[in-house]
């Protein structure tokens, strides 16, 4: 296992972002140690120098404006620097490169499930290629969870009914622990997983099913979007939604993903994961302008995994 | 009765006798004492849960109980300590006992309301505690939806209890504000108010403004249940993140309800024992109000990893830094008050110095958490647990301990022994740091909070923590022993044992039923010791 960082205070650094976070961590630590020593040092030295036996008569001091300005301005300045630095590093953490390889993750009491574009799904183990940006799109099946990979310094809550995401680019092949960081009930501390980082070539082999890794694919993999297509047929979506742009009972699926839709109250909304999920679970919540609210809810019928597959399918219908 | 205050040997403790005279009293001093014992009883219960939690964590995996029981332990520890202990700790005890005396008043403005607020507190506390009798709570003291909705009845009950206690806090707050406006002694102008009063004033405003949000949350929880309208429950189309907004909109200001009164006490203790006026009275008062105002607009710093928008995170992070600046001003001003003083190290001063130490550590580690990039790694880990124990627990408890050692002679009319007091202070101080400092390291190395089981690499850090927690417990047991001993047969306390300048010390210890035999007149500032001999 890789070395811990910064006198063992931080986990190993397995991404570029981790290094950025750690530099800031070290800077804040330096500042903190300085101010801690200053405050405690002054307190103890005053306590020694001005104890009643040594200094029976106190000096009457009420205020000292220059000093007060100083101890207001200096911390403000330092905190300002830390704030800006922190935000710059965070910007890198929050915006995934467009080229990122997407994996969908579902937290459920008490395991992590991952769905890959080629159709495999894994439980507990997250397979990713080294040196390539990977974006994890998170949701939850039940309560809040939080995907936390200490070695990557990333963490994001998995919220039921919502899609959140995080991204990373792992430096080297290796393994890294995954924790659930948001308290989720009885077995919260047992909701563990690990990231398995592979050489890109090896990852491709795994993806194509050639690699006979034990916990990988579930038999013959059907790619996620093809699974989604099959689901739209199975659930009868295609009876009302076309895939060629023609309007049937409902709007066509073609070119739907990412477009700006006008709703019955004339408000606009960009079609994204959350909107699609809501359209399936709660169709009446937002009704498209010009259509009747005839779509029935699929709540209880479709699983989070199914919704992920349908989203993947709709994304392909450009 | 009006004359009796001056009569020799008559004081509020023996003015009327019998348990009934206590339970129906409208004397602010007696109500303060009742609160003191009630809150400390809950402190004992919450403390026992803390020790159970630490025992379980002594080794990875099963140590004494299973995960379900462990989750209940920490949920009860947190809930009891936050809502029943630390929030009311200082306002209800010293606020009730000292505030009117600080002002030179005979009582609070509405004595009957004051008694009502005591019973509301008791009622709320027992309502919340009653969940223990049946299903219990296991969602932590933060009650995040939708987990907490899986045991909605318990959650609703606890939050109702919290709200009733909060309501009791509102009544007390209104009472104190009115008292401060209306019942000040002659000559006690606004710029001569002790800073403890300013701290209480700011706290009271927060209580009045923030507590209704808790009520609203509760109302929505109930409406969701009864009417089936989704607010927080995703299966009803609700938004669980909204619950977090509501929760922290109350609970972040509540953090300052816990800490401001403690700062107020430190403001009283340091000048008295340094024989010097507080450094920059005006800046101190301004910093208190600055913190109180900012307290309302930083709640989102608890939610950097929750999926809230980047813009929101940006603003919350920025504003939170202001709290750091205001806190810095206070710490430096306390040091400047000690500078060139004539310092005596009685127990209250030792606790005040312990306060400065733990609060400095707590404040500095807050920088890591208010900075988004580092917070992403640290949030929901033991780093956060350590941080808030240093600030709100370390702060409120050391502040309270400074206060109880400072005012004990006034409240009970007896002196305690300094030797055991110093030993207890050292035990708690060292134990506290031993408990919580390793948690910073466990957290930055990646150990999430609320974990029943943990990786072996965290074992030794957890063992240090557990050992430390028992040291703290021993320290408090020692404190209880010498204080009870002092109550029974301590030396009689003089009226003004520490040479303080505030009004409560101008009357006998313990004070007569009416507080002052003659109405006090103020001619100097609260920290002017020039005419007081020690
Ligand atoms: Cu969890
Ligand atoms: Cu907060």
Burial of B435 (0-12, 13-18, 19+ CB in 10 A): buried
Report the distance separating Cα B12 and Cα B34, nearest Å.
Answer: 13
What integer is the mean pLDDT of B33-57? 96
What integer is the mean pLDDT of A140-161? 94
Query: For residue A198, what are the β-bridge partners?
Result: A129
Cis peptide before A110 (omega within 30 of 0): yes
Ligand 1 center to residue A94 CA distance, Å?
22
- C-alpha distances in angstroms, A65 versus A58, A70, A99, A166? 20, 9, 55, 47
Ligand 2 center to residue B299 CA distance, Å?
5
Ligand 2 center to residue B360 CA distance, Å?
17
Q: Which three-class secondary structure state does DSSP give residue A113?
A: strand
Report the distance separating Cα B519 and Cα B260, nearest Å.
Answer: 29
Report the distance separating Cα B501 and Cα B522, nearest Å.
Answer: 10
Percent of chain A residues past pLDDT 90, beyond the cut? 58
Residue to substitute from A35, A79, A176, interface B, most B β-carbons within 10 A: A79
Q: Greater confidence, B26 or B136?
A: B26
Task: Fill in the DSSP letter of residue B230.
Answer: -
In 3D space, the residue among B41, B40, B15, B38 whose CA is nearest the CA of residue B26 turns out to be B15
For residues A122-151, b (16+ Cβ closer than 10 Å) or e, as one string?
Answer: beebbbbbbeebbbbbbbbbbbbbbbbbbb
Q: In degrees rounded to 5, what are phi and psi of residue A172?
A: -130, 155
This prediction's pTM: 0.90
Q: Which residue of B has its CA nearest to A68?
A: B329
Report the distance separating Cα B531 and Cα B499, nearest Å.
Answer: 10
Q: Which residue of B has its CA nearest to A138?
A: B307
Q: How many CB pairs under 8 A join A and B?
A: 259
Are A168 and A154 spatial neighbours (Cβ–Cβ below 8 Å)? yes
Contact between A50 and B274 using a beta-carbon 8 Å cutoff? yes
In 3D space, the residue among B34, B40, B27, B180 whose CA is nearest the CA of residue B99 turns out to be B180
pLDDT band at residue B307 using 50, 70 and 90 as cut-offs: confident
Q: Which three-class secondary structure state does DSSP give residue B209?
A: helix
Angle between helices B111-130 and B152-182 (to 10 degrees): 160
What integer is the mean pLDDT of B158-186? 92
Which CATH number among 3.40.50.9100, 1.10.287.90, 3.30.1370.60, 1.20.1440.230 corresponds to the domain A4-94?
Answer: 1.10.287.90
What digits encode the pLDDT tens for the residues B347-362? Answer: 999 999 999 999 999 9
Q: Give the CA angle between residues B72, B78, B79 to the nearest 5°.
A: 85
Residue B304 C-alpha from the chain's centroid: 26
Mean pLDDT score of chain A: 90
Ligand 2 center to residue A40 CA distance, Å?
25
Is B439 a residue whose pLDDT tops 80?
yes
- C-alpha distances in angstroms, B532 versus B265, B276, B277? 20, 12, 13
As residues whose CB is below 5 A from the ion ligand 1, the structure lists A 145, 180, 184, 188, 191
Structure tokens at B344: 């005596």
For chain A, first and last CA: distance in Å?
44
Percent of chain B residues past pLDDT 70, beyond the cut? 98
pLDDT band at residue B532 using 50, 70 and 90 as cut-offs: confident
Half-sphere exposure of B245 (CA within 13 A, CB side): 12
How many H helices and E strands in chain A? Answer: 6, 12
Contact between B341 and A86 using a beta-carbon 8 Å cutoff? no
What integer is the mean pLDDT of B424-441? 97
Are B342 and B286 spatial neighbours (Cβ–Cβ below 8 Å)? no
What digits encode the pLDDT tens for the residues B75-103? Answer: 999 999 999 999 999 999 999 999 999 99
Q: Which three-class secondary structure state does DSSP give residue B30?
A: helix
Ligand 2 center to residue A70 CA distance, Å?
27
Q: What is the ipTM of this complex?
A: 0.92
Selected residues 4-33 of chain B with any CB under 8 Å from a CB in chain A:
none
Q: Which fold has domain A224-316?
A: Cytochrome Bc1 Complex; Chain D, domain 2 (1.10.760)
Residue A197 C-alpha from the chain's centroid: 18
As residues whose CB is below 5 A from the ion ligand 2, the structure lists B 252
Least confident range from A95-104, A197-206, A301-310: namely A301-310
What integer is the mean pLDDT of B247-263? 91
What integer is the mean pLDDT of B113-118? 95
Ligand 1 center to residue A181 CA distance, Å?
6
Q: Which CATH class is domain B26-506?
A: mainly alpha
Which residues of chain A have a CB within 8 Å of the CB of B283? 63, 68
Mean pLDDT score of chain B: 91
Interface membership of B448 toward A (CB under 8 Å): yes
Ligand 2 center to residue B293 CA distance, Å?
13
Contact between A186 and B281 using a beta-carbon 8 Å cutoff? no
Report the distance separating Cα B151 and Cα A143, nearest Å.
Answer: 12
Q: Give the CA angle between residues B18, B22, B23 to the nearest 5°.
A: 115
Contact between A79 and B321 using a beta-carbon 8 Å cutoff? yes
- C-alpha distances in angstroms, B95 versus A206, B98, B191, B352? 67, 6, 19, 18
Burial of B493 (0-12, 13-18, 19+ CB in 10 A): buried
> Of A11, A80, A187, which is closest to B446 when you measure between CB atoms?
A11
- C-alpha distances in angstroms, A39 versus A35, A48, B339? 6, 14, 12
pLDDT band at residue B312 using 50, 70 and 90 as cut-offs: confident
Report the distance separating Cα B249 and Cα B213, nearest Å.
Answer: 7
Report the distance separating Cα B2 and Cα B435, nearest Å.
Answer: 51
The answer to whether domain A101-207 and domain A224-316 are alike in fold is no
Is B52 a residue whose pLDDT tops 90?
yes
Tell me, letter by letter, the H, E, C secondary structure of B142-206.
CCCCCHHHHHHHHHHHHHHHHHHHHHHHHHHHHHHHHHHHHCCCECCCHHHCCHHHHHHHHHHHH
Selected residues 246-275 of chain B with any CB under 8 Å from a CB in chain A:
274-275
Least confident range from A12-16, A90-94, B190-194: namely A90-94
pLDDT band at residue A139 using 50, 70 and 90 as cut-offs: very high
Query: For residue A57, what are the β-bridge partners?
Result: none
Contact between B328 and A72 using a beta-carbon 8 Å cutoff? yes
Q: Which ligand lies nearest the alpha carbon of B379?
A: 2
Structure tokens at B1: 């009765």
pLDDT the model gives residue A215? 41
Measured in angstroms, the CA of A208 and the nearest CA of chain B are apart by 33
Q: Which ligand lies nearest the alpha carbon of A147?
A: 1
Is A38 a residue whose pLDDT tops 90?
yes
Ligand 1 center to residue B89 CA distance, Å?
32
Q: Which helix (H) or strand (E) holds A83?
A: helix A65-94
Residue ranges of domains in chain B: 26-506
Residue ranges of domains in chain A: 4-94, 101-207, 224-316
> Under 8 Å CB-to-CB from B346, ≥6 apart: which residues?
B273, B405, B418, B498
Report the distance separating Cα B56 and Cα B62, nearest Å.
Answer: 7
Q: Greater confidence, B53 or A123?
A: B53
Report the distance separating Cα B170 and Cα B178, nearest Å.
Answer: 12
Residue to substitute from B70, B287, B442, B446, interface A, most A β-carbons within 10 A: B446
Measured in angstroms, the CA of B329 and the nearest CA of chain A are apart by 6
Which residues of chain A have a CB within 8 Å of the CB of B387? none
pLDDT the model gives residue B32? 96
Superfamily of domain A101-207: Cupredoxins -  blue copper proteins (2.60.40.420)
What digits encode the pLDDT tens for the residues B488-498? Answer: 999 999 999 99
């Amino acid at each position: 296992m890789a070395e811990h960082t910064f006198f063992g205070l931080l986990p190993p650094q397995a991404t570029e972002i981790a290094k950025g976070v750690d530099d800031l961590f070290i800077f804040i630590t330096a500042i903190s140690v300085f101010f801690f020593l200053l405050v405690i040092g002054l307190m103890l030295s005053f306590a020694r120098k001005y104890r009643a036996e040594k200094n029976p008569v106190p000096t009457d001091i009420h205020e000292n404006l220059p000093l007060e300005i100083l101890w207001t301005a200096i911390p403000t300045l330092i905190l300002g620097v830390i704030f800006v630095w922190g935000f710059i590093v965070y910007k890198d953490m929050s915006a995934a490169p467009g080229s990122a390889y997407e994996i969908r993750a579902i937290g459920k009491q008490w395991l992590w499930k991952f769905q890959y574009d080629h159709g495999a799904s894994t439980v507990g183990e997250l397979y990713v290629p080294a040196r390539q940006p990977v974006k994890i799109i998170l949701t939850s099946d039940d309560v809040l969870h939080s995907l936390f990979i200490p070695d990557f310094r990333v963490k994001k809550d998995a919220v039921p009914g919502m899609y959140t995401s995080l991204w990373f680019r792992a430096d080297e092949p290796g393994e890294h622990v995954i924790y659930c960081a948001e308290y989720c009930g009885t077995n919260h501390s047992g909701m563990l997983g690990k990231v398995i980082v592979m050489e890109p070539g090896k990852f491709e082999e795994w993806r194509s099913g050639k690699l006979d890794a034990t916990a990988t694919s579930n038999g013959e993999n059907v790619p996620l979007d093809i699974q989604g297509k099959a689901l739209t047929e199975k659930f009868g979506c295609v009876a009302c939604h076309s895939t060629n742009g023609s309007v049937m009972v409902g709007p066509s699926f073609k070119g739907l993903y990412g477009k700006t839709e006008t709703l019955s109250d004339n408000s606009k909304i960009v079609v994204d994961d959350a909107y699609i999920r809501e359209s399936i679970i709660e169709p009446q919540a937002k009704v498209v302008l010009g259509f009747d609210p005839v779509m029935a809810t699929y709540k209880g019928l479709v699983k989070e995994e199914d919704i992920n597959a349908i989203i993947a399918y709709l994304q392909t219908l450009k | 009765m009006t004359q009796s205050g001056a009569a020799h040997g008559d004081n509020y403790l023996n003015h009327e006798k019998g348990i009934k005279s206590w339970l129906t009293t409208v004397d602010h001093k007696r109500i303060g004492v009742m609160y003191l014992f009630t809150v400390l009883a809950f402190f004992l219960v919450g403390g026992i849960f803390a020790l159970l939690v630490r025992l379980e964590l002594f080794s990875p995996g099963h140590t004494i109980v299973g995960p379900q029981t462990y989750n209940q332990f920490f949920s009860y520890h947190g809930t009891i300590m936050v809502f029943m202990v630390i929030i009311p700790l200082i306002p209800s005890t010293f606020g009730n006992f000292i505030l009117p005396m600080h002002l030179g008043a005979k009582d609070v403005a509405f004595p009957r309301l004051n008694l009502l607020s005591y019973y509301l507190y008791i009622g709320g506390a027992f309502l919340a505690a009653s969940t223990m009798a049946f299903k219990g709570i296991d969602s932590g003291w933060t009650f995040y939806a939708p987990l907490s909705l899986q045991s909605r009845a318990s959650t609703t009950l606890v939050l109702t209890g919290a709200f009733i206690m909060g309501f009791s806090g509102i009544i007390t707050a209104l009472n104190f504000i009115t008292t401060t406006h209306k019942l000040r002694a002659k000559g006690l102008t606004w710029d001569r108010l002790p800073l403890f009063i300013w701290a209480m004033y700011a706290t009271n405003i927060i209580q009045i403004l923030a507590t209704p949000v808790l009520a609203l949350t509760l109302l929505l929880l109930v409406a969701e249940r009864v009417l089936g309208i989704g607010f927080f429950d995703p299966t009803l189309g609700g938004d669980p993140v909204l619950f977090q907004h509501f929760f922290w909109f109350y609970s972040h200001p509540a953090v300052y309800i816990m800490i401001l009164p403690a700062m107020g006490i430190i403001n009283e203790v340091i000048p008295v024992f340094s024989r010097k006026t507080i450094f920059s009275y005006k800046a101190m008062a301004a910093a208190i109000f600055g913190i109180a105002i900012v307290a309302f607009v930083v709640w989102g710093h608890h939610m950097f990893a929750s999926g809230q928008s980047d813009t929101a995170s940006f603003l919350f992070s920025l504003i939170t830094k202001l709290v750091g600046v205001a806190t810095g001003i206070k710490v430096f001003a306390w040091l400047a008050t000690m500078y060139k003083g004539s310092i005596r190290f009685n127990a209250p001063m030792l606790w005040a110095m312990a306060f400065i130490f733990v609060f400095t550590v707590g404040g500095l580690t807050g920088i890591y958490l208010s900075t988004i990039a580092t917070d992403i790694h640290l949030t929901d880990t033991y780093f956060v647990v350590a941080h808030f124990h240093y600030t709100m627990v370390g702060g409120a408890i050391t502040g309270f301990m400074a206060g109880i050692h400072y005012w004990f002679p006034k409240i009970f009319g007896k002196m305690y022994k300094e030797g055991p007091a110093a030993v207890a202070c050292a035990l708690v101080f060292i134990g506290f740091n031993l408990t919580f400092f390793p948690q910073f390291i466990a957290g930055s190395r990646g150990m999430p909070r609320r974990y029943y089981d943990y990786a072996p690499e965290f074992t030794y850090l957890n063992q240090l923590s557990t050992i430390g927690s028992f040291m703290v417990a021993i320290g408090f047991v020692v404190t209880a022993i010498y204080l009870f001993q002092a109550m029974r047969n301590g030396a009689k306390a003089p009226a003004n044992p520490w040479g303080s300048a505030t009004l409560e010390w101008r009357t006998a210890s313990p004070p007569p039923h009416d507080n002052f035999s003659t109405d006090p007149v103020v001619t100097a500032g609260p920290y002017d010791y020039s005419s007081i001999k020690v």
